[in-house]
Amino acid sequence: NAGVTQTPKFRVLKTGQSMTLLCAQDMNHEYMYWYRQDPGMGLRLIHYSVGEGTTAKGEVPDGYNVSRLKKQNFLLGLESAAPSQTSVYFCASSVGRGSEQFFGPGTRLTVL
């Protein structure tokens, strides 16, 4: 089992460009999450999903959109990237609420 995988691992964008980060899990988990990790800020929840076809806002959703068309995939989109979105993005999945979350390796995004 690969667990949780993220694509790409690194990306550099110019301000205003768009991109999509892909998260995939092979554990048949219902819940999936997108976090951003910034120095001195810890992990902050961007969006999450409690099942296929559902999405919900987390703590810092502005500037991001998500989709969960398939149970195993959770996409994070940036429509118009800003330098403030420079961060490391982590995807995670869990069986359910309050269960252990399994994390992906992260995507390092730089917006110039």
Partner 1 sequence: AQRVTQPEKLLSVFKGAPVELKCNYSYSGSPELFWYVQYSRQRLQLLLRHISRESIKGFTADLNKGETSFHLKKPFAQEEDSAMYYCALYGGSQGNLIFGKGTKLSVKP
Binding site for partner 1 (CB under 8 A): 4, 33, 35, 40-45, 48, 56, 58, 90, 92, 97-98, 100-106
CB-CB contact of 107 with 64 (8 Å):
no
With tokens 């390796």, the residue in question is 105
Written as six digits, the tokens of 31 are 């819940």
Q: Closest distance between partner 1 and the C-beta of residue 47, in Å? A: 10
CB-CB contact of 88 with 36 (8 Å):
yes
For residues 35 and 74, which CB has a smaller minimum distance to partner 1 in the complex? 35
Q: Closest distance between partner 1 and the C-beta of residue 64, in Å? A: 16
Q: How far is CA 22 from CA 1, 35, 68, 91, 99, in A?
A: 18, 13, 10, 9, 22
For residues 44 and 71, which CB has a smaller minimum distance to partner 1 in the complex? 44
For residues 64 and 90, which CB has a smaller minimum distance to partner 1 in the complex? 90
Q: Closest distance between partner 1 and the C-beta of residue 3, in Å? A: 8
For residues 74 and 90, which CB has a smaller minimum distance to partner 1 in the complex? 90
> 10: which strand partners?
108
